[in-house]
């Protein structure tokens, strides 16, 4: 079986190379110790790759941002996954940068927890508002059809 490289593989490789380079440079400059920061660097890179994959998930897939509003409607699912992918990439970049800049593990934990919590809240809210917008649009079309 031949595995063909995709854009996701390219992004994962680029994220791994960037994380390794940034970690090496920050360690050389004395900005961060590589022990625990390597964990946060890998988590940030993983969030970036996961965000890139999330925007392409089909409706009802076992993975994804599975809110009740997104599961109810294919269009809302697509919008939620695409927006959630962007949010997860941005959160991953924040975690990655924090792991390279902060030498204290407590600041890295706070950054990780805060970005993950904020991301989940924003993604669920966007799913809810996308569903409300879809219902209003459908009701307007039904009214015009009468």
- pLDDT tens readout for residues 11-25: 667 777 776 777 677
Return the closest-CA partner of residue 45 out of 98, 104, 111, 89. 89
CA distance 31 to 58: 42
pTM of the model: 0.73
Structural domain boundaries of the chain? 7-139
Q: CB burial class (10 A; 0-12, 13-18, 19+) of residue 89?
A: buried
- pLDDT tens readout for residues 17-50: 776 777 677 777 776 556 677 788 888 888 888 8
**Looking at residues 74-84, what average pLDDT do you find?**
90
DSSP state of 75: H
CA distance 23 to 29: 10
């Amino acid at each position: 079986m031949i595995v063909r490289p995709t854009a996701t593989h390219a992004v994962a490789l680029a994220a791994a190379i960037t994380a390794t380079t940034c970690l090496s440079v920050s360690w050389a400059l004395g900005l961060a110790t590589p022990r625990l920061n390597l964990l946060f660097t890998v988590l940030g890179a993983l969030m970036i790759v996961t965000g890139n994959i999330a925007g392409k998930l089909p409706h009802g897939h076992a993975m994804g941002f599975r809110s009740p509003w997104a599961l109810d409607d294919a269009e809302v699912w697509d919008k939620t996954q695409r927006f959630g992918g962007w949010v997860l990439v941005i959160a991953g970049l924040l975690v990655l940068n924090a792991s390279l800049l902060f030498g204290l593990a407590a600041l890295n934990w706070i950054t990780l927890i805060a970005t993950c919590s904020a991301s989940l809240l924003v993604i669920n809210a966007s799913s809810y508002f996308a569903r409300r917008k879809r219902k209003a649009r459908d009701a307007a079309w039904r009214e015009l059809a009468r």
